[in-house]
Structure 1
Amino acid sequence: MSFVGFQFTAVAVPVQMYDITRSSLWVGLIGVAGLVPLLIFSLWGGAVADVRDRRLVLLASSALMWFATLALLAHALSGLDSPHVLLGLVGVQSAAFAVSSPTRSAIMPRLVPEELVPAAATLGFTFGNIGQVLGPLGAGLILAHGDFALAYGVDAALFTVAMWAALRLPAMPPAERAADAPRSRIGDLVDSMRYLRAQPVLLLTFAIDIAAMVLAMPRAVFPEVAAEKFGGDRAVGWLYSAIAIGAVVAGLGSGWVSRVRRQGVVIVAAVVGWGLAVAVAGLAPALWLAVLGLAVAGAADLVSAAFRQTILLTHAPDEMRGRMQGAFIAVVAGGPRLGDLRVGAMAAATGATVAWVSGGIAAAIVAVLLAVAYPVLLRYTVRETER
């Protein structure tokens, strides 16, 4: 329920920004506003989650997200229509999300046995994508009437479910720390960077996802494409939902993920499929074809995300999971924000279609080049984790 509500805001903010400014570049700047606090607080938040009760960290960060949503509601009701206020509130919301998301992910291995982590990770991504289907479709219906306040109000109401869920969790005290472990957050971050630098497989999963999201994420041009090509705000809900629709369908048929051993090969293939499907969707002359192409891209993205998350959760020891999930969130949430800036700025110069299609093709090419240049990811199997 909270994922559904969050997507009402995720769609309403860029649509409201485009409504105020009539510029995809301003919509792209939303990604920049969210990126800096995301990078800072995801790493810091992951370090805090490793040394504090993860349930309490989740509660505190979720409360801040709730406040940011209420502030967006107040801004919409005021009629101020300030793009700068929107950017500022997106920054606050991003900082809170950057702490809550790695904390929530780090909790997962405490709740299920290790052999079920791939299934649990896939289930988590599937539920998230269900929210990304229902939320944008509902937001599209509301925004067709220009009611931004109602969209933010729905998010604020449904977010109470996230708070209830966090309250229902058991206590999650930190794992025992080694005697030589750092005793400061800066020391924790330096320690985590040293650990990550020695893990080439993890670094490659981050690199390939950054390439996929920065180059091929087209969502910053969705308001413009919906308005100029597909008939307005009713279409924008379908565009924002389409990637998640494919991810949900893939998630419902994901029983096979726990049986895959060559996880690195599957990640590379999925990222190539993501890029090519995004490019095809950008060329679609009809809304349903664009939705279909984006849905195929979403299915590929779910597969990639599930295996990247699995490798990270099974590779890292419990005392490092919060920090590694912080790095993971910085990549998976920061990459799309850079992608928003890339496609928004390029669309201002070349047009939305060229910016959309060229990015998808580039992402597929870069994924292949990374895999060939650094074959350690292609060679990765589950047996390495078991050893």
Structure 2
Amino acid sequence: MSRLTSFRCLWIGQTAANLADTLYIVLLIALTYQATQSAILTALIPIVTMSAQLIGGLLTPLVIDRFRLTTLLWSSQLGKTLLFTTLLLFLHALFDAGWLSVVLGLMAVFSLLDAVATPTRNGIVPRLVEKSELVKVNGWLASTDRTVQLAGWAMGGMLYAAVGATFSLWLCLGLHVLATLLMFGVRDPEAAEATTAEQQKRSGFQSVKEGWVTVWRLPLLRLVILMDVLEVLAEGVWIGAVMIVFVQQALGQDETWFGLLNAGYMAGMLLGGMLVSTFSKWVETRMGLLLLLGSVVYALLNAAFAVNSIAWLAVLLCLLMGLPHQLKAVIQQTLFQSQVSGRLLPKVFSVKMTVFNTGFALSALLMSLLTDVVGVRFVYLLAALLIGLATLLAWSKWKLLKQASVS
């Protein structure tokens, strides 16, 4: 089987799985609120999902050392499909019995498996495409992921209203079955892994710390992770609880504009991914410069959004913010893939995912509290300041970033 065929199986399979995952979260949120009439209990769904992904990111290196990437791909997807089948068959009975904790437990295990699949996919992509095509492929994958996410959140509510939760969940199961079958079609052309003896010599602690040590020893990746820490601490301003306050208090609008702001941001990220993919050759020779400029523009747009009071301008700013955000994300992804090779790459992506999940959870809590204490405009200005600090950090390491501009 050719690399191109394997990549297509991976791409289509992951797209189907991502769409199913987004739809299922939307549907479970709606069903949980319908069954409990409690916003607090409903809020447990994203909390449990994020917490499980955080734990999964920490534990993923343990399985990476013991199994081939292709094995992890199909087994994690097969596990998600079987788990989703169990959830679907017993969901209504669990809700009727008031056993929300069981539902949340199944969702947690589902998210643990997903935490294995994400760094594994990112780690195997460079083995299936030429190095010269990484920027283009990453831009393409980023655009696909955002399109699916945007479509999933939009379709979830419409499906729930039009055909009901049961049929919609069966549709999700069909997408998971398709994804599982396609994962079996992925072949790793660089399947030579560490020998069993070598694997046995590596303790669990060594497996977990290896990705962190790799990131810390590589100056460019260390810089990207430190920038990520500052930027993800700003990401909490985009959770619904903070955005809805901004819409009402700063813009003086109703909840409709909350959806428009989200749509604008997602559309900007989609457009950004498409532009990077289209002009990949130009981007790959200027990655360090574009990473720095993207941070500058992103910080300035966040500051402008924080002080703005015009609703339509807020939507435009969200659209524009999505462009540098996605540009930076694609460049960071490519830098990781080009700096690390072999079995260490999924571990390094696991580190990146762990940093993001931890930082986002802390940011969501901090920004929500600050919104109530000091006001919503302050938290958006604080977000702009944090991104500005990441920009200054990048500027202070310009010589290092400049090296990343060489194709």
Counterpart position of 2:239: 219
Q: Which of 178, 194, 198 matches 2:217?
A: 198
Counterpart position of 2:273: 251
Work out the CA distance in 2 between the residues paired with 1:290 and 1:323. 38
Work out the CA distance in 2 between the residues paired with 1:71 and 1:223. 35
Amino acid at match of 1:53: R
Q: Give unpaired runs (5+ residues) of structure 2.
A: 1-15
Quote the offset at 1:57 in angstroms: 0.7
TM (norm. structure 2) is: 0.76
Counterpart position of 1:101: 118
Work out the CA distance in 1 between the residues paired with 2:103 and 2:233. 22
Specify whether residues 354 and 148 from structure 1 end up closer, same or farther in structure 2 by C-alpha distance, changes over 3 A only: farther
Work out the CA distance in 2 between the residues paired with 1:192 and 1:177. 16
Would the aligned equivalents of 1:137 and 1:241 in 2 still touch at CA under 8 Å?
no
Work out the CA distance in 2 between the residues paired with 1:279 and 1:84. 41
CA deviations over 1:123-151 (Å, ceiling 9, x no partner): 11111011122112212434678966666
Q: Which of 312, 333, 349 matches 1:325?
A: 349
RMSD of aligned Cα (Å): 3.8
CA deviations over 1:6-55 (Å, ceiling 9, x no partner): 222344556677884446x984x655534443333224324533542212
Quote the offset at 1:336 in angstroms: 3.5
CA deviations over 1:350-369 (Å, ceiling 9, x no partner): 56x43762343233222223
SS of 2:202's equivalent? coil
Specify whether residues 108 and 192 from structure 1 end up closer, same or farther in structure 2 by C-alpha distance, changes over 3 A only: same
Work out the CA distance in 2 between the residues paired with 1:341 and 1:71. 32
Quote the offset at 1:104 in angstroms: 1.0
Quote the offset at 1:304 in angstroms: 0.8
- Bigger drift between 156-165 and 306-315 goes to 156-165
Counterpart position of 1:358: 381
What does 1:34-113 correspond to in 2, within 5 Å? 34-66=49-81, 69=84, 75=91, 78=95, 88-113=105-130
Would the aligned equivalents of 1:142 and 1:151 in 2 still touch at CA under 8 Å?
yes
What does 1:1-387 correspond to in 2, within 5 Å? 1-12=16-27, 20-22=37-39, 27=43, 32-66=47-81, 69=84, 75=91, 78=95, 88-142=105-159, 152-170=169-187, 174-177=191-194, 182-217=201-236, 218-221=238-241, 224=244, 231-232=254-255, 238-254=260-276, 255-260=278-283, 261-278=285-302, 280-281=304-305, 289-350=313-374, 353-354=376-377, 357-375=380-398, 377-383=400-406
Specify whether residues 222 and 248 from structure 1 end up closer, same or farther in structure 2 by C-alpha distance, changes over 3 A only: same
SS of 2:187's equivalent? coil
Work out the CA distance in 1 between the residues paired with 2:79 and 2:119. 15
Specify whether residues 222 and 48 from structure 1 end up closer, same or farther in structure 2 by C-alpha distance, changes over 3 A only: same
Q: Give unpaired runs (5+ residues) of structure 1.
A: none
Would the aligned equivalents of 2:302 and 2:381 in 1 still touch at CA under 8 Å?
no
Specify whether residues 22 and 51 from structure 1 end up closer, same or farther in structure 2 by C-alpha distance, changes over 3 A only: closer
Would the aligned equivalents of 1:242 and 1:292 in 2 still touch at CA under 8 Å?
yes
Amino acid at match of 1:112: V
Quote the offset at 1:330 in angstroms: 2.2
Work out the CA distance in 2 between the residues paired with 1:215 and 1:81. 37
Higher relative contact order (CA 8 A, sep 6+): 1
Would the aligned equivalents of 2:128 and 2:189 in 1 still touch at CA under 8 Å?
no
Specify whether residues 289 and 103 from structure 1 end up closer, same or farther in structure 2 by C-alpha distance, changes over 3 A only: same
CA deviations over 1:131-185 (Å, ceiling 9, x no partner): 1221122124346789666665543332333223212212567434499785344
Work out the CA distance in 1 between the residues paired with 2:98 and 2:315. 30
Q: What is the count of residue pairs matched by the alignment?
A: 380
Work out the CA distance in 1 between the residues paired with 2:51 and 2:351. 13
Work out the CA distance in 2 between the residues paired with 1:360 and 1:377. 25
Q: Which has the larger radius of gyration?
A: 2
Would the aligned equivalents of 1:137 and 1:237 in 2 still touch at CA under 8 Å?
no
Would the aligned equivalents of 2:242 and 2:368 in 1 still touch at CA under 8 Å?
no
TM (norm. structure 1) is: 0.80
Quote the offset at 1:271 in angstroms: 3.2
Would the aligned equivalents of 1:246 and 1:297 in 2 still touch at CA under 8 Å?
yes
Quote the offset at 1:187 in angstroms: 2.3
Would the aligned equivalents of 2:52 and 2:111 in 1 still touch at CA under 8 Å?
yes
Specify whether residues 41 and 250 from structure 1 end up closer, same or farther in structure 2 by C-alpha distance, changes over 3 A only: same
Specify whether residues 313 and 349 from structure 1 end up closer, same or farther in structure 2 by C-alpha distance, changes over 3 A only: same
Work out the CA distance in 2 between the residues paired with 1:287 and 1:66. 42
Quote the offset at 1:225 in angstroms: 5.2
Aligned sequence identity (%): 20
